[in-house]
Amino acid sequence: MTSAEATARLRARGLEEPDAAVVVDHLLLAERMGRMGHGLARIPWLETLLDGELVSGGRPRRIARGEGLERWDGGGALGYVTLSAVCDALVADPPAGARVVVAERCFPTGVVGAWARRLADAGLVALVTATSTPRLPHPDGGPPLTGTNPIAIAIPSSGGDPVVADVSMGAVTHGDVLAGKAGPEDLVPFGGPLAHKAFALAVGVELLVAALAGPEPAAVVVAARPEHDPVPAFRELAEGLRLPGDSW
């Protein structure tokens, strides 16, 4: 599928041109990063969401604002569109110190590291996490209880590219299933015999986001001005080894 075909299919489902561009640009970035399950293979799934629970013309909006906390409502829009608007707002008006942004009804969010990197490229330390529909079961088995619930942390640097750590709690991602690279039965917490650790993190994110944003899938973004620049010294310590985010 080409980017033009993907855009046309989203437009046919009612997405306005700027929103379709946000989504397709994000999917193409994921493919450039090698994350094919987060790429254009998601278009058929996104079409089903736009035919069902989401609103093609939905608009995210900021519903509350303070210096330390903002609240956004996705308004039925695709989560990509909501997080793009959140990042644009943070870059345009960065916090004096730190700001927590709670994005209610924000799904799907794609590669959360991409949103964190956008903030780091603007000079902000960033943490982005998000929930989804239940996909991961308890390590002992049973029905899915949490989403794969990724966490991304991005640290800007005066010496070049930021460091971006982006980890999902699943042994595979839902995108891998959509792309046919894995089956639904492979969606379990990562870690094998230590899977209880990934499950614990997934539960922590699930309940943290739900406590702040309510029961529907949502996202939380933390952005702060850095006081120090630890990245150059860490890169020197790593002696040329690849660090998280370097493939971007």
What count of other Cβ atoms lies within 10 Å of the Cβ of residue 49? 16
Q: Which helix (H) or strand (E) covers residue 142, if one does?
A: strand 141-146
Give me the domains of the chain, ranges plus CATH numbers.
Answer: 60-238 (3.30.1370.60)
The residues with which 102 forms a beta bridge, in sequence order, are: 71, 220
What is the rounded average pLDDT of the residues 217-240?
Answer: 95
Q: What does 39-78 look like in DSSP terms, one character per residue?
A: TGGGHHHHHHHHHTTS-TT---EEEEE-SSEEEEE-TT--
pLDDT level of residue 6 (50, 70, 90 thresholds):
very high
Contact call for residues 85 and 56 (beta carbons, < 8 A): no
Mean of all residue pLDDT scores within the chain: 93
pTM exceeds 0.75, yes or no? yes
pLDDT tens digits for range 203-213: 999 999 999 99
pLDDT tens digits for range 103-153: 999 999 999 999 999 999 999 999 999 999 999 999 999 999 999 999 999
Residue 57 has pLDDT above 80, yes or no: no
Q: Which helix (H) or strand (E) covers residue 114, if one does?
A: helix 112-121
> Would you state the pLDDT for residue 146?
97
> Would you state the pLDDT for residue 226?
97
**Residue that the structure tokens 């899977």 belong to:** 195
> Would you state the pLDDT for residue 159?
81
Contact call for residues 157 and 229 (beta carbons, < 8 A): yes
